[in-house]
């Protein structure tokens, strides 16, 4: 089992706030690792919103390869944050090299291109750097995207937070996803650690997806270079959301209709039954199976939570105007936002999508039985 915690805040907050919430839920996760997605950054990175930020772990050899690679492509360093360890490495945490986030100035020819072309270039470079470093494990790249930093490591989340000094103000941000477990079903691989990121879409999951293989094969057949990796069966949740909003051009209201469509009986009385029937048929290979609670963040900084058809994993959302949290357990909410109205906490059921928009004013609920906005 693992535990999830996410924050959406009007003002930047420390990622340690999320890690402390994970720590309160420690009986529900094994403390084997931590993964962090940080976006809508404050501090110096917040002053360069358009600059792509490369985040990962690099050996000395890997850094030399990285510098040569980026230099050949005309990228110039604007800001580098090195997470120098502040304590002895926690028990079970290997010594890997340099934990780094580096913002770059794009070359002039890429600046002149459209946003879509820039985003494709960032994704292709991240994939290429990942493949360059996989054999020797000298380059581990978790994201290369504007206004985004990702950190992953083996070890107890609180111990890793202290080890890497994750309370430093350069990491303060408005959107945080935090997960408190490594994938221990197989050999440890940091690319199997949640959250998973692709072109501004990020998700993390508590559960297992027994439909992983057919979903993976379908995504791989789409011919999109970003649909790769799959060291974890949960990575497909991020890629399905990416496919939903980028390839199908549907909004978040459609995500549940793709991964957990209504039954034919439920669909009969739906105002959009003809559309939903087409979606169910066309996207049938993206239907999930197994217990899952999914929390995610979209490119526009909207955050959400959804459940599987049987709601077999815990999940709750609550907060107050200005700051909201998504948590596996209520005690995580209590730790992060103790002064909220607890009577307004909401536990999404199997038909619900709980949504917090970037303005952080309220939690809105989208139910699969409701009529849908037209996507085009």
**Quick check: 1 pLDDT over 90?**
no
**Residue spans per domain, the chain:** 4-367
C-alpha 376/C-alpha 373 separation (Å) is 9
3-state secondary structure of 205: strand
C-alpha 196/C-alpha 188 separation (Å) is 16
Higher pLDDT, 126 or 309: 126
C-alpha 262/C-alpha 270 separation (Å) is 10
Least confident of 141-145, 261-265, 288-292: 288-292
Query: For the segment 303-361, what is each residue's pLDDT rounded down to a tens digit?
Result: 999 999 988 899 999 999 999 999 999 999 999 999 999 999 999 999 999 999 999 99
Of the pLDDT bands very low, low, confident and very high (cuts 50, 70, 90), residue 33 is: confident
pTM here is 0.96
**Quick check: 120 pLDDT over 60?**
yes
Query: For the segment 285-307, what is each residue's pLDDT rounded down to a tens digit?
Result: 999 998 999 999 999 999 999 99
Query: For the segment 64-77, what is each residue's pLDDT rounded down to a tens digit?
Result: 999 999 999 999 99
Query: For the segment 35-61, what is each residue's pLDDT rounded down to a tens digit?
Result: 999 999 999 999 999 999 999 999 999
The matching CATH number, chosen from 3.10.105.10, 3.60.20.10, 3.40.30.10, 3.30.1780.10, for 4-367 is 3.60.20.10
Short-list 326, 319, 322, 324, CA closest to 353: 326
């Amino acid at each position: 089992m693992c535990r999830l915690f996410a924050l959406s805040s009007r003002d930047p907050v420390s990622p340690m706030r999320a890690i402390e919430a994970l720590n309160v839920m420690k009986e529900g996760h094994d403390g084997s690792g931590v993964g962090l997605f940080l976006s809508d950054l404050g501090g110096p990175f917040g002053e360069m919103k358009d600059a792509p930020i490369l985040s990962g772990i690099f050996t000395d050899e890997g850094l030399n390869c990285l510098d040569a690679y980026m230099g050949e492509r005309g990228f110039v360093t604007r800001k580098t944050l090195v997470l120098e360890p502040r304590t002895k490495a926690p028990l079970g945490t290997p010594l890997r090299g340099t934990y780094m986030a580096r913002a770059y100035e794009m070359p002039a020819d890429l600046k002149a291109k459209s946003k879509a072309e820039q985003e494709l270039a960032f994704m292709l470079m991240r994939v290429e750097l990942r493949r360059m470093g996989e054999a020797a494990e000298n380059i581990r790249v978790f994201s290369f995207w504007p206004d985004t930093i990702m950190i992953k490591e083996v070890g107890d989340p609180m111990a890793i937070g202290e080890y890497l000094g994750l309370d430093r103000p350069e990491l303060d941000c408005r959107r945080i996803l935090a997960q408190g477990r490594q994938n221990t079903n197989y050999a440890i691989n940091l690319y199997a650690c949640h959250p998973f990121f692709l072109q501004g879409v990020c998700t993390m999951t508590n559960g297992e997806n027994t439909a992983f293989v057919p979903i993976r094969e379908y995504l791989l057949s789409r011919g999109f270079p970003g649909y790769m990796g799959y060291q974890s069966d949960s990575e497909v949740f991020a890629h399905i959301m990416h496919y939903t909003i980028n390839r199908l051009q549907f909004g978040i209201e459609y995500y549940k209709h793709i991964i957990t469509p209504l039954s034919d009986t439920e669909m009969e009385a739906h105002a959009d039954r003809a559309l939903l029937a087409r979606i169910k048929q066309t996207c049938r290979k993206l239907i999930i199976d197994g217990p899952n609670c999914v929390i995610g963040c979209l490119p526009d900084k909207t955050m959400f939570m959804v459940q599987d058809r049987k709601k077999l994993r815990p999940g709750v959302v609550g907060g107050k105007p200005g700051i909201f949290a998504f948590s596996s357990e209520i005690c995580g909410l209590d730790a992060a936002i103790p002064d909220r109205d607890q009577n307004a906490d909401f536990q999404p059921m199997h038909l619900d999508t709980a949504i917090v928009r970037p303005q952080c004013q309220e939690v809105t609920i989208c139910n699969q039985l409701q009529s849908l906005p037209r996507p085009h």
